[in-house]
Amino acid sequence: MNMKFFYLSSNPDFNGKLLIHERSCPELPSPYERDYLGAFNSAFEALKNATEIKSNVSICPVCGCKEEIYTLRHLSKKASE
């Protein structure tokens, strides 16, 4: 299967979010500033897993799939209604 490896940044970005990165991301933090999340089919799956550990997580806008970010916004909008 086409699994990708994902990492969670240890340091929040300027929005206070911990970003999820794919291994090949140019913005991937150094090994001292990231935690290995695991192998998933998509960034969205990695996000679902990460939210069970931390509450303030978000998909990196550089390596994250735009469609997945859209889905996430759509879901969170529904949840707040």
Q: Which residues of the shown chain bind Zn ion in the complex (CB under 5 A)?
A: 21, 25, 27, 60, 62-63
CA-based torsion, 64, 67, 72, 77: positive or negative: positive
CA-based torsion, 70, 76, 78, 81: positive or negative: negative
- Nearest distance, CB of residue 61 and Zn ion, angstroms: 8
- Nearest distance, CB of residue 60 and Zn ion, angstroms: 3
Whichever of 53 and 62 has its CB closer to Zn ion, that residue is: 62
Whichever of 45 and 79 has its CB closer to Zn ion, that residue is: 45
Of 5, 30, 19, 24, residue with least CA distance to 61: 19
- Nearest distance, CB of residue 81 and Zn ion, angstroms: 30
Whichever of 15 and 80 has its CB closer to Zn ion, that residue is: 15
Round to whole Å and give the CA distance between 9 and 47. 12
